[in-house]
Amino acid sequence: MTEVDIATKAPESDAQQDSSTNEPTDASQQMGEHEHCVTDRPTPAGQGSTGEIIKLNGVDVYISKPTDYPHTPSRLLLLLTGGTGIKSTNNQIQADIYASEGFLVLMPDLFGGEKAPGGKDTYFADNSTSLLEQVKLKAVEIAKSFMIDMWLARITEAKIMPILHKVIEAAHEEYADAIKYGEGIYAVGYCVGGRYVLLLAKGSHEAGNDEESGMVKAGPYIKAGALAHAASVTPDDFKNLQAPLSLVCVENDALFTDEVRKVGEDIMTQDNLEHEVQVYPGVPHGFAVTGQYQESAIMDAQVTAYEQMLAWVKDH
């Protein structure tokens, strides 16, 4: 198998590939899920980013503007990424796509320049691979999985929320026209960033939670939000939500389990929060982020997920 074959395989096919000598362990299957928080898919041919990275209140932010901004009013949209961050070409293209729909997009560096651990190697096993080589490959993938788990554990609310508050504070000064035009800030989030759309949608924020930025707000920071295949979400993240939300979810997602999702749906329903939840079967975690897959069904789902999220923020 060539490197190109490995790069273009969908992660679920990695996990399901048949081998008469050995089958992937649970750890290696889980690694297929983790990879999409930290590793980009191949960038679609002929596409590139058009925005730039600027500083807002000391935070690096990728900004993408509609071609006719500021002559034509635009709404402000925060785009919160997974572990590939703001220097990922795919994430930048994703921001540009929203900008082409009339949003002024700010994509902040949530991780302070720290790159999530990842790699190009993906576990596979076939009859041409010796048992020793397979054992070595498994060991590498298990080590990667451990490193990513450790990295995700460090991506905490205490670290990320002050960064977001700094960017929001600067946006109110630099792009007040866009916030006024949209009557608030909109947000979309992917993977790790998806959880922080939920936190920005919460209805109360105590001053002690954000002493560094000094922002105090008694309501949600966003007017509406959409999130795709979020990671590290807990049931408590669904409590006290006060902004309408759209969720793109993956069926049997190890990083956002069906159990947590169902609890979240119950909480949002009990709280009479306007929301929608769409569960996509047969797709890998991370599928909604710009990137190339060989399987046409995954590419179709990627388009549908984007249309779902775009329609939600446009309609609210």
Question: Which two three-digit tokens encode residue 309?
Answer: 């999220």
Largest CA distance in the chain: 64
Report residue 199 CA to chain centroid gap.
Answer: 14
Query: Quick one: how many helices (H) and strands (E) in the chain?
Result: 10, 8
Query: Could you tell me if 96 and 72 are in contact, meaning their C-beta atoms sit under 8 angstroms apart?
Result: no
pTM: 0.79
pLDDT band, residue 218 (cuts 50/70/90): low
pLDDT per residue as tens digits for the range 79-109: 999 989 999 999 999 999 999 999 999 999 9
Tell me 40's DSSP state. P
CATH class (in words) of the domain with range 40-111+155-315: alpha beta
Query: Could you tell me if 231 and 257 are in contact, meaning their C-beta atoms sit under 8 angstroms apart?
Result: no
Computed over every residue of the chain, the mean pLDDT equals 81
Which pLDDT score, from 0 to 100, does residue 150 have? 64
Classify strands 75-80 and 59-64 as parallel, antiparallel or unpaired: unpaired
Domain boundaries, the chain: 40-111+155-315
Task: Decide which of 166 and 42 is more confident.
Answer: 166
Give ∠ CA 285-195-78 in degrees, rounded to 5: 100
